[in-house]
Amino acid sequence: MQTTLKTAVTFTGVGLHTGQQVRMTLRPAMAEAGVWFNRIDVRDNPWICARWNAVTPSQLCTLVVNEAGVSVSTIEHVMAAIAGCGLNNVIVEIDGPEVPIMDGSAADFVAGILSARLVRQNAPVRALRVMQPVEVRRGDAVARLEPAEGFGMEFHIDFPDAAIGRQAMSLDLANGAFVRELCDSRTFCRNSDVSAMRAQGLILGGSVENAVVVDGAEVLTPGGLRHADEAVRHKMLDALGDLALAGAPIIGRYVGHRAGHAMTNLLLREVFARPDAVRLVACGGHLSARLPGAGVTRSDLSALAA
């Protein structure tokens, strides 16, 4: 069955790129509603649907915009939390143009969702089953969806900094794996890129408190890494959030090689341009149990501290 929140939950923090203080509240929504952003600081046309075709090109994040030009950026972490907790219908009420970055991961959003609790609704979960492989390439970057049972992900990255280097991970995202394995992995950047990004008006709210900053083999962020392969885990977190813009859970396997937000959105556009690439299916008990978020509890989140 589809789910929504039992009660609303609020988050406050700064936007990574704008540096603006933002208040964001996740509110229950009716069955079949999906995920909507509501810019409560905007009087006219404040509603933005969280869908792949609302995404517009943006540096270093995912940004959705409606027909009136009203937008919300850096939505990937909260979208990952929504998908990873199995939340189908929710209104994301926000009083600014960017989702708060929190600690640079999705852990705070996951904790809030699980504290608010999910309730079942009288409507079946429908998922997009991948029927044939779809792949997009741009230079060395590759993003692919292929048929599979349940939802799995494989990701490869390669950075010159020794603190990151080459990393790869493969994960079945059923039964709370997102919460246990990925949700606390933070966004990262190279120290050599920080000044250039700020000169472009980016990461104005960024700091070592909400990102992993590396310089060669050194991790500048206090406390170091949460996982030895935190960078590739965060890339997978981002990909789950971007794939959630398909509008329904995906039954298939995602493979990313040096892929980012733009590549994943390009992949979704290619998928929906092919009528036979995916099929919308109702999920029975067995299939529902293979989706991200199925059976997630707060104990999955507490396992992060172990």
If one compares 78 and 206, the residue with the highest pLDDT of the two is 78
DSSP string, 82-106: HHHTT---EEEEESSSB-B-TTSSS
Q: In the prediction, which pLDDT does 175 show?
A: 79
Say how far residue 178 (Cα) sits from the centre of its chain.
11
Give the active site residue among 17, 77, 234, 261. Answer: 261
Strand ranges (E), the chain: 3-5, 9-14, 21-28, 35-39, 47-49, 55-56, 63-65, 71-73, 90-94, 118-120, 126-130, 134-138, 141-146, 151-158, 166-172, 188-190, 212-215, 218-219, 250-257, 278-282
Q: Which DSSP category does 243 fall into?
A: H
Q: Model confidence over 205-252: pLDDT tens digits?
A: 878 888 899 999 999 999 999 999 999 999 999 999 999 999 999 999
pLDDT in tens, 32-54: 999 999 999 999 999 999 999 99
Number of H helices, E strands in the chain: 8, 20
C-alpha of 83 from chain center: 8
Higher pLDDT among residues 16 and 256, named by residue: 256
pLDDT for 60: 86
What is the predicted pLDDT for the residue at 303?
Answer: 64
Cα(116)–Cα(7) distance, integer angstroms = 5
261 flagged as catalytic: yes
| Residue 83 to residue 289: CA distance in whole angstroms | 14
User: Which H helix or E strand runs over 288?
Assistant: helix 285-288
Which residue type sits at 12? T
Q: Where are the domains of the chain?
A: 3-120, 126-305
Predicted confidence (pLDDT) per residue in 260-301, tens digit? 999 999 999 999 999 999 999 999 878 888 888 887 877 777
pTM of the model: 0.95
What would the pLDDT profile of 169-186 be if each residue is shown by its tens digit? Answer: 999 998 789 999 999 999
Mean pLDDT of the 62-80 span: 98
pLDDT value of position 304: 63
CATH assignment, 3-120: 3.30.230.20
Dist CA 203 CA 73 (whole Å): 12
pLDDT at position 279: 97
- Both tokens of residue 59? 């540096």
Selected from 3.40.50.2300, 3.30.1700.10, 3.30.465.10, 3.40.50.10800, the CATH number assigned to the domain covering 126-305 reads 3.30.1700.10
Report the percent of the chain where pLDDT is more than 70.
Answer: 99
∠ Cα 83 86 91 (to 5°): 70
**Pick the residue with more confidence: 253 or 208?**
253
For residue 75, give every residue at least 6 positions away whose Cβ sits within 8 Å of its Cβ, in sequence order, or none. Answer: 37, 50, 61, 62, 63, 64, 92, 99, 241
- d(CA 6, CA 116) in angstroms, rounded, equals 6
